[in-house]
Amino acid sequence: MGTAQYILNPREAYIAEQQWRVVKRSVDARQRELRVHLTILTDEAGKPIAKDAPIPLYEPPVFQDVHQAAQSVVIIGAGPAGLFAALTLLEHGIKPIIYERGKEVSERKKDIALLNRNEGLNPESNYCFGEGGAGTFSDGKLFSRSKKRGNMQRVMELFHYFGAPDTVLYEAHAHIGSDKLPGIIKRMRECIIEHGGEIHFETCVTSLKEFKGERLELRVPIILAIGHSAHDTYRMLAAEGVTLETKGFAMGVRIEHPQALINKLFYHNASTEYVGNAAYSLVTQVDGRGVYSFCMCPGGHIVPAGSSAGSCVVNGMSASHRNSPYANSGMVVQINPEDIEGDDPLRGLAYQEMLEQLAFEHGKTPYIAPAQRMRDFVEGKESKSLPACSFLPGLIPSRLDQWLPAHIGKRLQQGFRDFDKKHPGFLTNDAVIVGVESRSSSAVRIPRDPESMQSISTPGLYPCGEGAGYAGGITSSALDGINAAVEIARLFESRTNHTIITQ
């Protein structure tokens, strides 16, 4: 079999997609007319293969029954890294035992609804903590900038196997949507339990040395997949002697434009009927630091993504149809370890907390977020009113231009001017910036041996996913979880082989 490539208009591409087996699709908005690049599977004669031809889309996973398995692995955290590690362990006949501090997804939904109605934050069940981790109520964008880390396609296949749409298998910028993700995560959990794995919700691991009456670290391998928001867990690890180091991260604000304006600027007013709302990705350099858009959510919502009382953190998500009238993205500034005084490996966390508390103080109790019109922010003016916004808890006008630390605020102001030069009209008072986007990446790394993936200080501990500082986003975190599980399976296998040889 081979492939054939086509460049089509959006309608032609849509029709081709209904008929033929597409293996790659991307939208090209560089010219005034939108074009869709399609790669279609063909037979030996070069004829396109029909969409419903009896050719498997991929090798389906085979999960083993591990009720009686001799080997088990503890996983801390049920985000993408933890869940994909668990599924991979099942494929190798190893029993995963997951501890997750948050609630299962349907209960978590209720806490998130309360948060959106401004009726209180549950510090253990929110947009960051709970089944599926930070990825559950997200846009569910499934792509990673890094092509090096291994088999990304397998991550897409597993998402598809548990119910994600066919597009995740071939779309260049695939996404699932916050309405579909909870069901997919629930099916992953059901599979893990049905095959003999364990998931313990509302169980925060507060020590590796003494947990449920055992020394967890000495019992079995531990996959540490805690994400980057569990500041208390990082502090516990530091206190228990696990080596941690500070790493570069990024902070800033979330910005929201009317989606119609973004369609006009980036899709040149073309119809979005067959391609969906326009997305963008912007980057510039200001005074030696990157300023860039992050996690852009077309047709999305800004959400309150904090996990502790007295702090204000925002992020973005969208449903599968991406059809709200708003377009949001994080607008962040690169922060290097040397930008923050001191030598404490956790100083980046303290800096994030400082900014989140500052935003909380400039907002309004409980979680009304501080905001400023975009052009007012750049020109240093007060916003007397704010435009309509998707952020449900509400906004209050605030002088972000005055209280954001200068090395972030000034760079964002210049960054916005740069973006407007490339896309005139982007800098507008119809857009609003909301504070603060502080959790775009991990401020800590838990160093590990590159071969064995074990912590350099604590053998048997496998730090992985975003919180370990080795991944960023759903796909690369999931892949990191898969890789940790494969490494542990290899270790178990080599021990078994060794026993046989010496017998």
Ligand X SMILES: Cc1cc2nc3c(=O)[nH]c(=O)nc-3n(C[C@H](O)[C@H](O)[C@H](O)COP(=O)(O)OP(=O)(O)OC[C@H]3O[C@@H](n4cnc5c(N)ncnc54)[C@H](O)[C@@H]3O)c2cc1C
Q: Which chain residues interact with ligand X by CB under 6 A?
A: 76-82, 99-102, 127-130, 133-135, 138-141, 204-205, 225-227, 230, 233, 295, 303, 305, 315, 317, 465-467, 472-475, 477
Q: State in angstroms the smallest separation of the CB of 284 from ligand X.
A: 22
Q: State in angstroms the smallest separation of the CB of 501 from ligand X.
A: 37
Q: State in angstroms the smallest separation of the CB of 382 from ligand X.
A: 29
Cβ proximity to ligand X: between 319 and 408 the closer is: 319
Distance CA 467, CA 205 (A): 15
Distance CA 125, CA 110 (A): 9
Q: State in angstroms the smallest separation of the CB of 82 from ligand X.
A: 6
Cβ proximity to ligand X: between 95 and 175 the closer is: 175
Q: State in angstroms the smallest separation of the CB of 179 from ligand X.
A: 13
Cβ proximity to ligand X: between 48 and 330 the closer is: 330
Using DSSP's 3-state secondary structure scheme, residue 67 falls into coil
Structure tokens at 483: 């890789």
- Please name the residue that has the structure tokens 């063909």: 42
Distance CA 260, CA 82 (A): 38
Structure tokens at 165: 């749409």
Distance CA 396, CA 370 (A): 5
CB 28 within 8 A of CB 6: no
Cβ proximity to ligand X: between 20 and 137 the closer is: 137
- Our CA dihedral for 338, 340, 341, 346, rounded to 10 degrees, sits at -100
Cβ proximity to ligand X: between 49 and 468 the closer is: 468
Q: State in angstroms the smallest separation of the CB of 227 from ligand X.
A: 2
Q: State in angstroms the smallest separation of the CB of 408 from ligand X.
A: 20
Distance CA 297, CA 11 (A): 23
Characterize the bridge pairing of strands 245-246 and 444-445. Answer: antiparallel
Q: State in angstroms the smallest separation of the CB of 300 from ligand X.
A: 9
Cβ proximity to ligand X: between 251 and 303 the closer is: 303
- Please name the residue that has the structure tokens 């109605």: 117
Cβ proximity to ligand X: between 300 and 409 the closer is: 300
Cβ proximity to ligand X: between 130 and 252 the closer is: 130
Structure tokens at 275: 């391609």
DSSP symbol at 44:
T
Q: How would you class 7 by CB atoms within 10 Å of its CB: exposed for 0-12, middle for 13-18, buried for 19 or more?
A: exposed
Characterize the bridge pairing of strands 326-335 and 314-317. Answer: unpaired
**Where would I find the H helices in 122-243?**
152-161, 181-194, 216-219, 231-239
